[in-house]
């Protein structure tokens, strides 16, 4: 005849060592009224509380093997409380909101805004380029728009390398000032 397991610790150990679900069921039944009462207190609905009692047992099957539990009753109470709070949180966040396109910007419109901003920026750049001296405009054009290096520009224009560098630096500074003045 097998000795009756009395303590929570013995039942818990039997479950953990042998995956004995009967031991866990016996232990859980000891506290089923506590579990149900706690669920009812938080969920305020008898059917939801009954469902939670069943779900918590399933949760215990998964959680207990990895947990170090010294006082089953207090640990169980925390599990039950957290389960109920998660249920309440899920029910609050599960509200359905009707989609209203007038409240949201379309990605297509944002892309169009970007294109319009770039186009306006480019037009302003063209206007500022017209305000540069001929030499600065030509040096900027060759360097930035045609991707030529200082040596290539010097060879093409028969200007000295230092003069090209000076034209590009001064042209950039003048472009920046012009662009800042025009927004």
What pLDDT, in 10s, does the model give residues 30-85?
Answer: 999 999 999 999 999 999 999 999 999 999 998 898 888 889 999 999 999 999 99
Greater confidence, 2 or 20? 20
Residue 29 lies in a domain: yes
* Residue 15 sits in the same domain as residue 89: yes
CATH code at 23?
1.10.1740.10
Q: Does any domain span residue 20?
A: yes
Instruction: Look at residue 99 and tell me if it is in a domain.
Output: no
Q: What is the pLDDT of residue 85?
A: 93
pLDDT > 70 in the chain, percent:
83
pLDDT at 1 exceeding the cut of 50:
no
The verdict on residue 152 lying in a domain is: yes
171, 173, 177, 183 alpha-carbon torsion, rounded to 10°: 90
Question: Are 81 and 143 found together in one domain?
Answer: no
pLDDT confidence of 113, banded at 50, 70, 90?
low
Q: Which helix (H) or strand (E) holds 74?
A: helix 72-93
Q: What are the structure tokens assigned to 91, written together?
A: 């029910």
Amino acid 111: pLDDT: 56
The count of domains in the chain is 2
Specify the pLDDT at position 179: 86
Cβ count within 10 A of residue 168: 18
The predicted-structure confidence for 123-143, as pLDDT tens digits, reads as follows 888 889 899 999 999 998 898
Q: Are 182 and 124 in contact (CB under 8 A)?
A: yes
Three-state DSSP at 67 gives: coil
Q: What is the DSSP letter of 137?
A: H
Instruction: Compare 93 and 127 and report the one with higher pLDDT.
Output: 127
Which domain covers residue 27, as residue numbers? 8-93
Residue 97 has pLDDT above 60, yes or no: no
């Amino acid at each position: 005849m097998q000795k009756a397991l009395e303590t929570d610790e013995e039942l818990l150990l039997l479950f953990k060592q042998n995956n004995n679900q009967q031991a866990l069921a016996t232990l859980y039944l000891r506290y089923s009224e506590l579990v149900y009462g706690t669920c009812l207190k938080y969920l305020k609905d008898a059917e939801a509380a009954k469902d939670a009692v069943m779900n918590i047992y399933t949760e215990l099957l998964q959680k207990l093997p990895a947990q170090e539990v010294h006082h089953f009753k207090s640990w169980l109470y925390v599990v039950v409380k957290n389960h109920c709070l998660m249920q309440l949180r899920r029910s609050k966040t599960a509200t359905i909101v009707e989609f209203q396109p007038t409240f949201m910007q379309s990605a297509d419109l944002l892309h169009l805004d970007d294109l319009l901003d770039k186009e306006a920026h480019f037009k302003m750049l063209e206007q500022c380029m017209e305000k540069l001296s001929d030499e600065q405009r030509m040096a900027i054009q060759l360097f930035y728009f045609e991707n030529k290096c200082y040596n290539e520009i010097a060879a093409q224009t028969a200007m000295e390398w230092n003069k090209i560098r000076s034209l590009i630096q001064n042209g950039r500074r003048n472009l920046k000032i012009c662009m800042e003045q025009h927004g």
